[in-house]
Amino acid sequence: MEVIIVIGHADRIEQAGDQDISLGRAGAAKEYLVSQGVPFDRIYVEGKGNREPLTKPGQCTGSMSEQVIECLEPDRRIDIEVIGTK
């Protein structure tokens, strides 16, 4: 393993602080990986905010409700990329 890139994402409801929220998600994942023995300096974090949703346009419509929040759950995530050589 050369490096691990942890990318945080937010949903459209979290617009006010979506960048900070996505970075926080990525940071929490980095902390976990370090606690499991992955070297701190091999992990990089990035926040995408709400720019790369998994939900489709027109999906999760309506006013803020439990159903909309649940529908947007896939957008609140982290992606982990492991870059290495064999």
Domain ranges for the chain: 3-83
**pTM, two decimal places:** 0.87
Give the full edge-to-edge strand order of the sheet including 43-47: 43-47, 3-8, 78-83
Chain Cα centroid distance, residue 81:
12
pLDDT in tens, 14-71: 667 788 999 999 999 999 999 999 999 999 999 999 999 999 988 998 888 999 999 9
> Cβ distance 75 to 15 under 8 Å?
no
Q: For domain 3-83, give the fold.
A: 60s Ribosomal Protein L30; Chain: A; (3.30.1330)
Chain Cα centroid distance, residue 57:
19
Which CB contacts under 8 angstroms, 24+ apart, belong to 60-65?
A: 64/13
One-letter amino acid for residue 82 of the chain: V
